Structure 1
Amino acid sequence: MPKRNLLYGLMVVCFTMLIFTWIVRDTLCELHLKRGNTELTVMLACEVKR
């Protein structure tokens, strides 16, 4: 049972990240997350729109 719950939790996290990325896909070029000593930086190839 615990492995099944872990799998469901991982699926929910991945699905949430996909939905978030889809919602902000036109405005998201760089994302910084800091938590304690850990830093996560995500950069996407973005073109400047004029």
Structure 2
Amino acid sequence: MPVKYKYTFLCLLVICVTLLCFIWMVKDRLCEFTLKEQNNELRAVLAYEAGR
């Protein structure tokens, strides 16, 4: 494998691992988004049911 492809693969691997770690850390808050600005508050909540 050429060196160019090794670095590309390594970069993709680092990005994927970083995204997985971030999602794992904030997994409880992924279903809710809150934006506060002065007197206004915008809240979006994703309603879902886990498949059984």
TM-score tier by shorter-chain length is: 0.5 to 0.7
Match of 1:15 in 2: 17
Which residue of 7, 10, 24 corresponds with 2:26? 24
TM-score (norm 1): 0.58
Aligned-pair Cα RMSD in Å: 2.6
Structure in which a larger fraction of residues adopt helix: 2
What's the offset of the Cα at 1:30? 6.7
Which consecutive unaligned segments of at least 5 residues does structure 2 have? 34-45
Larger Rg computed on CA atoms: 2
Taking the aligned partners of 1:18 and 1:29, their CA distance within structure 2 comes to 16
Percent identity between the aligned chains? 43
TM-score (norm 2): 0.56
Which consecutive unaligned segments of at least 5 residues does structure 1 have? 32-43
Letter matched to residue 23 of structure 1: M
Misfit runs of 4+, over 4 Å: 44-47
